[in-house]
Amino acid sequence: MKTVELIKIFLASPGDVQTERNYVKEVVATINRTVAQYKNVRLEVKCSENAYPGYGKDGQAIINEQIGKMDEYDLFILIMKDRFGSPTKRHASGTVEEFTLARKAHKERGKPDIWFYSGSMKQDVKKKEDKQQQAKVKGFRTRYINNRYGLFRDYKNPSNFKSQLHEQLTLWLNDYSNKKTRKSITTSKTKTASLKKKEPIDKTKVANNSNQASLISSKPIKEIKSTTNKNKTNTKSKINNSKSISNSGAWVLLDDNLFETKSVFQDVNRKLILNIPIINSEQETNLRHLQTNHRYGNRLVSYSYQNDAFMVQVESIETDSIKGKTSCIVTLKPIQQSNNYNIASYNNYSIEQTAELIRFLLLNEIQDNQNQANNPMLNYMLTGSSYSTKLEKFIFSDIWKKWKNKPKMFLINARLAAVHLLKSKNIVEHILKFNISLNQNVVSIDFSGKMQNIYANQEPKTLQVKGKCTL
């Protein structure tokens, strides 16, 4: 189990930006629910509001003690708009005191990173106190610029602040993760180099290896080379016409639509969170169509990824855009399916008969002693339609028509569709191996899987299916 890294954020501001403060917590919650989970991190926001009552010191001193050392935080977010805040015994305001502690920690320890957001001020304020507060904020901005503390961001309204923060925090998190990865790689390389330096070189062993190599006849090598040259054209032709896959990579099948994912994550509540980069408007339309509500609630969508498949409901589709590149964060809720029946046990199939069933479904092979195509109960469980429905074609035929000119996409789509059929209908419980290949218009499969146990004291049975058919 991977350890989740905690990234601590401190939020500092006077009391007039409560909406913005709430948005910070909202943005962090969204990132924790999406991007952060893929990176195995969790963001935590802390501010003076988290402080509990104390006695014997001034209020800000008590807050400072409770928030701990500033170098324990990874990011410091400062927000100011119309108010500067009330003075403390040490600084012009509590917010400025927190900012000063963050600056000192950053100078001495290199953290936290410091962000300053400055909101648009109210115009034509009349109260003397309000004018004084605004003047102090303007003075702080001026010092921030003149002293070259860093880059700060203006925002027009709370909504604009929220969108800026979400984009910039996502970018920062990506950069943070990349720095960690580079640091880890550098450390690993340093350790490896150190070990290599310490490792003594056995010159005798090297010499023996060299002599052993020289004793190998070069004749077979020439023969292999000659054979390769002779059949160069044939080999190249075979590579172009033959494709094979043993897994579906990053692709996911939702209903009849293929989407390439950036990441797939399952949280503690078994909800699936997919990050799907958007490549065109048609793809985004197909994706959002999955969330269309049925008259009785969210409709069920078939889901297939790698060697797993089940029915899901689309809970939400959120858009995440970074530097003009848009991704959809899709949250899926798996629907618990009944394991009380499976096709093999219902029809009292042996392991051999179940293998024949798979050959029929995937390769369109019908045995002489069976007639699955006309079995009404089997048809009903597979199609969900009326008992009179007849299985007239195997599952690869329509997929072949769709991807005939793109063999690799055909293989991915065909594999995921087959996984969904075998898993969602409880024909097999676990897929151990599923290789699928294509040579011109001939598809071949090499499959093995474990059947579901009907009784607890039974040993799981493994079935294997190999075969080919013409599309």
Cross-strand partners of 319: 328
Strand ranges of the sheet holding 152-155, from the earlier edge strand across to the other edge: 41-47, 5-12, 75-80, 113-119, 152-155
Give the whole-angstrom CA distance, residue 35 versus residue 380.
41
The 8-class DSSP code of residue 389 comes to -
- The angle, 0 to 180 degrees and rounded to 10, between the axes of the packed helices 232-241 and 219-230 is 60
Tokens coding 270: 């078994």
Helices of type H across 323-406: 343-346, 351-363, 376-383, 396-403
- SS3 call for 3: coil
From first to last of its 471 residues, the chain has per-residue pLDDT tens of 567 899 999 999 999 999 999 999 999 998 888 888 778 899 999 988 777 787 878 878 888 787 888 999 999 999 999 999 988 889 899 999 999 999 999 999 999 999 999 999 998 888 999 999 999 999 998 888 888 888 889 999 999 999 899 988 988 888 776 666 555 555 555 555 555 555 554 544 444 444 443 333 333 433 334 344 444 444 444 434 458 999 998 999 998 899 999 888 877 678 888 889 988 888 888 888 887 654 445 678 899 999 889 889 888 888 777 777 888 888 888 887 655 455 555 556 677 877 888 888 888 776 554 454 445 545 544 554 444 444 445 678 889 989 989 999 999 999 999 999 888 777 888 888 999 999 988 999 999 888 766 555 566 778 888 988 888
Query: Angle at which helices 407-424 and 351-363 pack, to 10 degrees?
Result: 140
CA distance 290 to 298: 9
- Judged by DSSP in three states, 387 sits in coil
> Of 37, 446, 36, nearest to 245 (Cα)?
446
- Is 111 in contact with 105 (CB distance < 8 Å)? yes
Distance CA 78, CA 150 (A): 12
Q: How far apart are CA 259 and CA 274, in angstroms?
A: 10
Give me the phi and psi of 300, to 5 degrees please: -85, 140
For 5-39, give the DSSP string. EEEEEEEE--TT-HHHHHHHHHHHHHHHHTHHHHT
Q: Which of 305, 270, 331 is nearest to 423 (CA)?
A: 305
Which letter does DSSP use for residue 70 in this model? Answer: G
In degrees, to the nearest 5, what angle opens at C-alpha 254 toward C-alphas 249 and 260? 35
323 φψ region: left (φ > 0), alpha (ψ -120 to 50), beta (else): left
